Amino acid sequence: MFSSIAPGIALRRSAGAARSFLRCRRGLLTLAIETSCDDTSVAIVEKHKDNQSTQKATIHFLENITADSRAHRGIHPILALESHQESLAKLVNKALQNLPVTKEGQAAINLADRSTRRRPDFISATRGPGMRSNLSVGLDTGKALSVAWQIPMVGVHHMQAHLLTPRLVSCLEEKADSRTSPEFPFLSILVSGGHSILVHSKSLVDHKIMASSEDIAIGEALDKGAREILPADLLQGAKNTMYGKTLERFVFPNGMADFAEYRPPVNRGEEVIKRQSPWGWSLTTPFANTRQLQLSFSSIASMVNKIVQSKGGDMSQDERVELGRETMRVSFEHLASRTVIALEALRLRHTGDEEIKTLVVSGGVAANKFLVTVLRSFLDIRGFGHIEIVAPPPYLCTDNAAMIGWAGIEMFQAGWQTDLSCRALRKWTLDPNAEDGGVLGPNGWVQTNA
C-alpha cells in the first residue's frame, strides 16, 4: 500500500521525528516555577541521557514557601499573591546556585560570585489552572528568564504535572533501578484541596475525566471537618492551613498500626450500611446506593458540622478521634467505590494492551496513608488485585515545582514549547474532548517537530 502523504511533508515529519528522538535521548535540564495557589516553588530538574535499561533524573534543587494565611483558617488570595511577589525572585536566585557545574561544550550562565553554571535547556512554568493573578507572577518570571537566557519555555498544565509525578519518582537516581514507571494507559486519582477527579490517561496529552466532584474537593471537606473535630489547642498550634494533615496525625498517632484492622465493604450492598458510633451518630456515604460516576464531599463536611454543633462542642478526646476516623473512612470509601466502578467500566471496553495496570494517586491528599490502605483493600476485594497503586512521596504530593519541571521535560521531549505571548489560564481541562480542547487546546503551543 502506497502512502498518500506528499514527499515534502513526509520529509519534514521524518526530520521532526529525528529531532524528537534526539531530544528524548539527550539529557535535559530545566528550571521550573509553580505559583498556581498559595505555594511559591522553584526547582532544578534534570533528566539524564537515556541508556538501554533505565531513565534517570535528579532534582538538584526544590524549595517551597507557603503563604501564611492561618489567621483566615484557609487560603487567602491576596496574601498568597503577595507571598509569590515577595518570595519568587529570591527562590530563583537561590536555585541558580544549585545548577550543575558547566562541562565542556555546555552553555553557561555567570553568577554574581563570578562562578559559572550550566544554563538550563528551557524554562518550565505553571500556566494553569489556578488563580490567574498568582499564576501570572510565575509565568511572567519564566518568560523573563526565557528571554534573558535565550532559551525556550513550556507553560505546564498543573494537573497534568500531578498525573506525571510518579513517572518522575520512578526515574530519581537513588532508586531508579527498582521502580517501575507508570506506562500509559493508567487510571489516576487527583485529590487535593481544590480537585477531586478520576482520570483515564491514554497518553501524555490524552486524558479523559471519568468522574469529578460536583461540589467541594475531598481536601476541602477534610479541612472543614478537621476545623470542627480538632481540639482548640491543636487547631491554634497548626503551622499551616492544611488541617486535614493535622487531623490525620491526631486520629492515627501510631500511623499504619492504627488502621491495620480496617476491612472494606465486601460488596456494594455493604457500602449502604451505616456504622453507628457508641455516641449515637453516623455518617452516610454519598451515592452509596447508585453506580453514578460522580463524586460529592460537601455532605460529609455538613454532617460533621451538625454532629459537633449538636454536642455544643462538648466532646471527649475519644469521640473526636472516632469522628475524625469516620470522616476519613467515609470520604475514602466513597472515592474507592467510584474508582472500582470506573475500572469495571474500562474493563468492559478494553482488553490486552489497553488494560489498566496502574492506579496513580496524586495531589496533596495522596500523602494520606489511610487513603492508600482503603484503595488497596477495595481493589483486592473487588477483583482488581493485579492493579498496582503508585503514589509519590509526601514532599511531591503537594504543589511543587519539581513536578512542573518533569511535566515540562516530557512535553519538551514530545516537541512542544510555549510561545512567549501565552497568558495564564484560570480554568484549563485535561480532556481533549472538552470545550477548551484539553492540554493542547489553548493558544500558545508551538510544535517544534511538526
Domains 10-177+399-447 and 193-395 share a fold: yes
In the predicted model, is pLDDT for residue 177 greater than 90? no
Prediction pTM value = 0.90
Say which residue the cell 498556581 belongs to.
36
- Say how far apart CA 64 and CA 291 lie, in whole Å: 40
- Say how far apart CA 365 and CA 388 lie, in whole Å: 18
In the predicted model, is pLDDT for residue 301 greater than 60? yes
Residue 239: pLDDT band with limits 50, 70, 90:
confident
- Say how far apart CA 120 and CA 152 lie, in whole Å: 10
In the predicted model, is pLDDT for residue 386 greater than 80? yes
pLDDT value, residue 370: 96
pLDDT value, residue 366: 94
Angle at 135 between CA 129 and CA 139, to 5 degrees: 115
pLDDT value, residue 22: 47
Residue 25: pLDDT band with limits 50, 70, 90:
low
Question: How many CA atoms are closer than 13 Å to the CA of 380, on its beta-carbon side?
Answer: 9
Helix and strand element counts for the chain (H, E): 12, 14
CB-CB contact of 33 with 124 (8 Å)? yes
Question: In the chain, where are the structural domains located?
Answer: 10-177+399-447, 193-395
In the predicted model, is pLDDT for residue 447 greater than 80? yes
The per-residue pLDDT for range 129-151, each reduced to its tens digit, is 999 999 999 999 999 999 999 99
CB-CB contact of 214 with 296 (8 Å)? yes
Residue 238: pLDDT band with limits 50, 70, 90:
confident
The per-residue pLDDT for range 333-361, each reduced to its tens digit, is 999 999 999 999 999 887 666 789 999 99
What would the mean pLDDT of 290-315 be, rounded to a whole number? 93
pLDDT value, residue 171: 93
Architecture of domain 193-395: 2-Layer Sandwich (3.30)
pLDDT value, residue 141: 98
In the chain, the percentage of residues whose pLDDT exceeds 70 is 90
Closest CA to 21 of 60, 58, 50, 53: 50
The per-residue pLDDT for range 411-421, each reduced to its tens digit, is 999 999 999 99
Whole-Å CA distances, 317 to 131, 232, 280, 313, 324: 38, 12, 16, 11, 11
Angle at 427 between CA 425 and CA 433, to 5 degrees: 115
pLDDT value, residue 18: 43
CATH 3.40.1710.10 fits 10-177+399-447, yes or no: no
Buried residues in 233-262 as b, exposed as e (16+ CB within 10 A) = ebbeebeebbbbbbbbebbbeeeeeebeeb
Mean predicted lDDT score pLDDT of the chain: 89
CB-CB contact of 172 with 178 (8 Å)? no
pLDDT value, residue 175: 54
In the predicted model, is pLDDT for residue 154 greater than 50? yes
pLDDT value, residue 173: 64
